[in-house]
Structure 1
Amino acid sequence: MSSVARASIRDNNPVAPATLAQLPELAAVLTDRTLGQLKGDDLFVFPAFDAVDSGDPNAADQQDLTADQKVLFTKQRQVWAGNVMGFIGKGDEQLMITSRFVRPGRQDHFFQYLLAKVLGTPNVVDLSTTGSAQRPLVDLLRYSFPLYLRRALRKGLYKTYIRREENEAAVRGPIDVARHLRQNTPFLGNVAYSRRELTADNHVFQLVQATIDMLVGQAGGRKLLASVSDEVALVREAVGGRHGDVRQLINVNQQRPVMHAYYREYRDLQRLCLLLLQHRQIQLGLGTRQVYGILFDGAWLWEEYLNSLLAPAVMHPRNNSKKLKQFLFFDEETGRNKGSIFPDFIRDAPRVIVDAKYKPYGNIGGRDYQQMLAYLLRFESRHGYYLYPEQGTQLEHPLLVRQGLDAVPDESGRPDPSAIQHEWDLDRIGLHIPQDCADYPAFEAAMATSEAQLKRRLGLPID
């Protein structure tokens, strides 16, 4: 078996030519190709960007991650990493993309922490590139299963028509003459017939049940599924707690993928279950020509993490589900709302707008400011906050909103102070990301301190 070439880079950073030379085949297929071009049966992307290509003109404004984003792209004759984190490979080449908010060469506890908080799983994801070649991918796939299951079941139970063969007195379908003569001679009162039934006890849910049983049998599996115990119960109820032969289930689900656009979350869950069940020997992708892996949008992870931290004290309008959608205008002529908007977080009493930014404070500007001002005006708020990850020690960078025309500078060369509106302010507040922690438990403890400081600054209750 050939050796596996592995490397690690940080998101939103230039990639060293030596790293690209280590992974020539992977670099060739990733550079300047979009996620939409790369997505296949063995590549999972969060959040899903299918709606962008669905024909919905507003879809691009309702998603953090879009199909035209790139894992690697060329800028000024240099290759840069995009805004995704995770694990991706092709053949015997594998690349781990970690967070830019961790110093180079350090273990990325921050990415692990975000995954643990957002996926709601125990800390078991090993993002080290020095261990088993398959360990990071296997961990990320296994521990994203609860999130895929939860998303799918939000659409309700996936039902299909199946043909059942019955032999009873109460006939509820066309009689199967050949089978009837074979089974009911001499005649004792039963009739052999077949009927079609719309049911959740189908190939998809049986595949999910098989995956659940597999995970339960693995170390930490019961703890992993504890966060989706209600969803697991629904699956067990749908299939009666059983499933057929795993090999046959795999073949049936490969031949009959979920195709309906409304149930695309079930298609993603089906793909994940197939991958986990097919590769129980942990040979994911090795030796194949297809791109495989799992990628997370950094901005989406950061926003979902902040939601887990700030809820329920703040509302969190969700772009993808259109929950708590707000509008900028009302059109009197048509009687319809116009200009849908989704502020990241809104808090009442007092009204405060909070925007999540997965970028250094120095990169916050331009459209970020214009968007925040629109939110402040629309929601009649005078206080806005940008929350961003901070590696250093300076955690607050306040801004005061100007008003009116800028006056002629006085003798000091400074604009007239009366042109500054002191009642409106924006604050760029950093959540300190601990550096140089000895191990993950130490990082968790340091993050708890950072989170308490942030909540205290925002006036939120501290657990």
Structure 2
Amino acid sequence: MQIILEDNNAKGRSLHQLLEQSVDYSRVVSDLKRIANKPIGRLDVSNLLIFPHDWNVSKDEIHNSIIIGLEETENDCLISSGNIMGFVGVNEAEVFIKSRFANDDGHDYFLHYMLQKVNKLNIVNFDLRGGKDTIWDFLIYMFPDYLSKAIKQGLYKEYRHIKHNDTNVKGSIDVSRHIRTNIPFAGKIAYNTREYSFDNPVLQLVRHTIEYIKTHPYGRNVLARDSEMIENVSKIVFYTPTYNKNDRQKIVNANRRLVRHPYFTEYKNLQIFCLRVLRHEKLSFSGKKDKIHGILFDGAWLWEEYLNTVLKKDFIHPENKTGKNGFKLFEKGPQRIYPDFISEQVPKIVADAKYIPLNRQESYAESDDRLINIYYKTITYMYRFNSKRGLLFFPYPFEGEPFNKEYKIEDREGTLTKIGFNIPKNIDDWGEFQEAMKKSECKFKNTIKKISE
């Protein structure tokens, strides 16, 4: 049974209203309780694809986020959502969490747009089909990220047993095979060798995934997103000369055992991803009772990374995972801090990216601890950088001027300003949506420029 939600619905929706009357209500509730109100880090995520798959890159700590909340009332259950988007299923219960900016017909252009920008893609025309097929499209977007992280660790090599039949004997003779193939004797010897090779089942799996993605309507755009991706694909093709499209199932079976090499850690993630694509299981695992399956996106991380593509010329975007652009907190000490954004110009402007709807005062009241903590964090960074200007960026569903609300800090010259980024919602054409987003990006940057002045 499919349950469709929007992200950041803090109040929750009636489960009775979301389900058809013929559905076994108690059974659905029982299934949902396996994932509800529990941090992702405490769930069995072996059959979940989570983006970003490296949880350490997310300042919002995705492992502490919950997928859905479930509150039982006297005659019903209220199901709520947060920053997590995507699809998750347990047994018969399937929950689709789309962005709150999706069209009424289900087209989630905003989520697609952010994924394309973050993954450096430019797909002009495509048809969003909705449901699990759209989730499949999301998988295609993610492949370059998985491949790039793996290849940065080097090309994976492992020992392989290779069968030969020639005159250059350099391994152990395979007597039974020699008798079967070389009688009457014509000079050749059947023998086996154990060689350290790039052309192994893991890279073959990646090669089959590449060839499969090429068959997707916009798969070639994904594989050629930039020079790095083109080079990575070329390496895989070059080092898998024995590729045969008819061996796909054999290669899939050979990769049931996941990579456990202490150095090639990213290849395990890539391996799981490729298996999911090649099996084309629509992200379901029928027959596996109580298994949690699906694909999830951290909206907070995705929003922050998207904003970086918009603001990178004017703002520094520190990276806590790599340590790039980090700042010392104390004059003497190892502690480093990583604001979401800090301006290139002086005096410094500190900015924090928030995916939650900061314009919804009924959902996030000014006295809400969650919102107060957001204020505290930004003001602390302002003090560290001797800044009088702090900004909070959030997506805002409005067609006019950006939402702009300023708070003056008591007994200080500093101000904290919420700036809503206009997200077009009632557009039914992908090309028109892209153009509208480009206009919103310009408005957003102009608003920041005016406030900075």
The aligned residue for residue 408 of structure 2 is 400
Does 2:212 match 1:214? yes
CA distance in 2, matches of 1:69, 1:102: 22
The aligned residue for residue 325 of structure 1 is 326
Does 2:425 match 1:435? yes
CA distance in 2, matches of 1:92, 1:109: 28
The aligned residue for residue 84 of structure 1 is 84
For 1:238-277, what aligned pairs fall within 5 Å after superposition?
238-240=239-241, 242-243=243-244, 245-254=247-256, 256-260=257-261, 262-277=263-278
The aligned residue for residue 355 of structure 1 is 352
CA contact (8 A) 1:11 1:83 kept: yes
Partner SS state of residue 421, structure 2:
strand
Partner SS state of residue 251, structure 2:
helix
CA distance in 2, matches of 1:104, 1:26: 27
Unaligned segments of structure 2, at least 5 residues: 365-369
TM-score, structure 1 as length reference: 0.77
Deviation at 1:308, TM superposition (A): 1.6
CA deviations over 1:257-313 (Å, ceiling 9, x no partner): 012465443222211211221237x58435653332111011011011111222244
The aligned residue for residue 367 of structure 2 is none
Deviation at 1:250, TM superposition (A): 0.8
Instruction: Pick one of 31, 34, 42 that aligns with 2:47.
Output: 42
CA distance in 1, matches of 2:19, 2:190: 71
Deviates more, 1:440-449 or 1:201-210: 440-449
For 1:299-448, what aligned pairs fall within 5 Å after superposition?
299-331=300-332, 337-350=333-346, 351-362=348-359, 363=364, 365-392=371-398, 393=401, 395-402=403-410, 419-421=411-413, 424-448=414-438
Aligned-pair identity (%): 30
CA contact (8 A) 2:103 2:427 kept: no
The aligned residue for residue 292 of structure 2 is 291
For 1:196-207, what aligned pairs fall within 5 Å after superposition?
196-197=195-196, 199-207=197-205
CA contact (8 A) 2:283 2:293 kept: no
> What is the count of residue pairs matched by the alignment?
416
Deviates more, 1:138-147 or 1:258-267: 258-267
Unaligned segments of structure 1, at least 5 residues: 51-58, 332-336, 403-418
Partner SS state of residue 372, structure 1:
helix
Deviation at 1:431, TM superposition (A): 0.6
For 1:9-48, what aligned pairs fall within 5 Å after superposition?
9-13=5-9, 14-19=12-17, 21-22=19-20, 24=28, 26-48=31-53
Partner SS state of residue 319, structure 1:
coil
The aligned residue for residue 413 of structure 1 is none
CA contact (8 A) 2:8 2:356 kept: no
CA distance in 2, matches of 1:68, 1:375: 23
CA distance in 2, matches of 1:89, 1:211: 24
One-letter code of the match for 1:373?
I
Distance change (3 Å), C-alpha of 1:307 and 1:174: same
CA distance in 2, matches of 1:330, 1:184: 81
Root-mean-square deviation (CA), in Å?
3.5
Partner SS state of residue 143, structure 1:
helix
CA contact (8 A) 2:343 2:350 kept: yes
TM-score, structure 2 as length reference: 0.79
Deviation at 1:166, TM superposition (A): 6.0
Instruction: Pick one of 154, 161, 164 that aligns with 2:159.
Output: 161
Instruction: Pick one of 38, 41, 60 that aligns with 1:64.
Output: 60
CA contact (8 A) 1:90 1:285 kept: no
One-letter code of the match for 2:308?
N
Deviation at 1:360, TM superposition (A): 2.3
CA distance in 2, matches of 1:36, 1:19: 30
CA distance in 1, matches of 2:250, 2:190: 30
CA distance in 2, matches of 1:240, 1:108: 40
Deviation at 1:116, TM superposition (A): 2.6
CA deviations over 1:206-262 (Å, ceiling 9, x no partner): 1010011111123222123221322211211232372571111111101x2012465
